Amino acid sequence: MDRKALLREALAADKQTIPQYLDYESPSVNVTEWLRYSCIPVYEQENAAKDPELASSMEKALSLTDSALSFRVGFLVVPLSWDEDGFPVFPFEQRSEKLKKNLLGCDKAVLFAATIGSGIDRLIRRFEKADPKMGLLLQGLGAERVESLCDAFNEEVKEICKETGRETRMRFSPGYGDLPIEVQKVFLPLLDAERRLGITLSESCLMAPSKSVTAIIGVC
């Protein structure tokens, strides 16, 4: 089954679905975002583009990452119910006002984890000491890659929802605003993320590989 068919089936289900896994091709690189994540603000970028050294470093970063990344997403869909205080009920404990507001009016939510794998972390290690500028560009590129992967997944969810006249909310991540990062301890096992995506959690709830994202997309 192709990705969209899988998503369509999961979004049509009326109870919590089992986790499923999708592979993506490398999304096209958003250079503006890449440079922004590399500490070059958007208003500086026109200036930066004239720097031939930067251009050749960027080219090198792209060729280094060319075959070192994989683009995987694990997701499941949960029907939403609400407790007496109006907070959405998830398999994890949380009382986030911001998430509550984000999900107001939704009847289900997509929980997903996206990762570009550990190859990027090895590259960053390799370069951050020997060539800090390349380290920074690789950090930035990794952040852009995983965000672009989330965008690609999010876009497909949105399109499928549209088919049945539904809409999606902005994706919302553990650790953002008042949604505690500790929910990761339940979030990731729900997706069997360690075994299926290779994502592990540190004591302080940070993900490895570092270029991984978890988020919730409300559907209304």
Instruction: Using CB under 8 A, list all residues that contact other proteins.
Output: 1, 6, 9-10, 13, 15, 17-18, 20-21, 38-41, 44, 48, 51, 53-54, 57, 70, 91, 117-119, 121-122, 125-126, 128-133, 135-137, 139, 175, 181, 189, 194-195, 198, 200, 202-206, 208-210
Give me the least distance between CB of 105 and other proteins, in Å please. 25
**Hey, what's the torsion of the CAs at 36, 38, 39, 43, to 10 degrees?**
-30
Nearer to other proteins, 29 or 48 (CB): 48
The one-character DSSP state at 181 is G
- Among residues 199 and 215, whose Cβ is nearest to other proteins? 199
Burial class (CB in 10 A: 0-12, 13-18, 19+), 60: middle
Helices 3-12 & 132-163 angle (0-180, nearest 10)? 60
The distance of closest approach from Cβ of residue 8 to other proteins in the complex, given in angstroms and rounded to an integer, is 12
Residue whose CB is less far from other proteins, 108 or 169: 108
**167/185 with CB nearer other proteins:** 185
Please tell me the distance from the alpha carbon of residue 70 to that of residue 65, in angstroms, as a whole number.
10
